[in-house]
Structure 1
Amino acid sequence: MGNLKNTIATFAKAQCSAWVASCVDFGITLLLANVLGVWYAYATLVGAFSGGLVNCGINYRWVFHAFGLKKKYVALRYVVVWVGSIAFNTLGTWRLTELTGMNYIISKTIVAVLVAVLWNYQMQRTFVFHYGKTCGQ
């Protein structure tokens, strides 16, 4: 029962972290696209990059308490996952927007939720912040 409780608590904290990172991501995306006139796909890329920085810091300290892992190894693994996340978010938003004609913010929201749960959380939990037999422990 305790393990399930910890798993649920970690997932909930990860979702809070993702929400904060998404606020940064969407805020920067909207600023670039709607205020500065940057193409929405480029704005999505910069927003995802910025949100990723915030997410990594929060996850390291608060969500996964990864203090026992060397920062350089966490950073290297995070970059691998982050590149995938940025690619999925950017290409997914662009593709869904172009295929459906819906507003890019709606497309971005749909893609962001899918990527957050299906890619980011899973990869961070099992690869980036995993305490198993990984290099650099």
Structure 2
Amino acid sequence: MVKPVFIKAQASSLIASATDFAVTVFLVEVIHLLAIVAAAIGTITGGVVNFLLGRNWVFKAGSSPIPKQAFRYLLVWIGSFFLNIVGMAFMINLIHANYIFSKILISLLVGFFYNYLLQGKYVFK
């Protein structure tokens, strides 16, 4: 049986990813930033959304000290940021994949196999 916290974490990830994705596409298509720069800004924005949802809704860790959680989240987020940007660069520059497809694929992989595990076991424990 799937735990409710896992479902909430995936919903939070979906909301954060949608924010990330929307910011990235807006910055590429409307502002005409390079896809890698736009992806970096989108990832930062999504990270802030995910932290707030994880702390207050998913893991219900709102009573824990914010600085400690924020520091731990930052450490995990830096790894996530690195994995997302390297993954995007690999997909776009070496495989020549579409940036939207690349963003979706990399975000899903990093979200399932990195973010969820470390947020539950380390950041919001």
**TM-based fold match above 0.5:** yes
> Greater Rg, structure 1 or structure 2?
1
Q: What is the Cα deviation at residue 125 of structure 1?
A: 0.6
- Equivalent position of 1:52 in the other structure: 47
The structure 1 residue matched to 2:69, chosen from 67, 71, 74, is: 74
Q: Which residue of 2 aligns with 1:85?
A: 80
| Amino acid in the other structure paired with 1:21 | A
1: CA distance, partners of 2:27 / 2:17:
15
Residue 21 of structure 1: SS of its match in structure 2? helix
Hey, which bits of structure 1, 4+ residues long, moved more than 6 A?
none
Tell me the residue number matched to 2:115: 120
Deviation of residue 68 (structure 1)? Answer: 3.4
Deviations 1:53-101 (A, max 9, x none): 0000001011000033211100000000111111111111111122211
Structure 2 unaligned regions, length at least 5: none
Aligned residues of 1:74 and 1:128 also touching (Cα < 8 A): yes
- In structure 1, the gaps of 5 or more residues are 131-137
Q: Give the length in aligned residue pairs.
A: 125
Q: 2:105 aligns with which of 103, 110, 131?
A: 110
**Matching of residue 61 in structure 1 with residue 56 in structure 2:** yes
- Distance, in Å, in 1 between the alignment partners of 2:82 and 2:28 is 18
Contact 1:41 1:94 in 2 (8 A): yes
- Report the Cα distance in structure 1 between the residues aligned to 2:52 and 2:63, rounded to whole angstroms: 15
Q: Percent of aligned pairs with the same residue?
A: 35
Number of the residue aligned with 2:10: 15
- Which moved further from structure 2: 43-52 or 81-90? 81-90
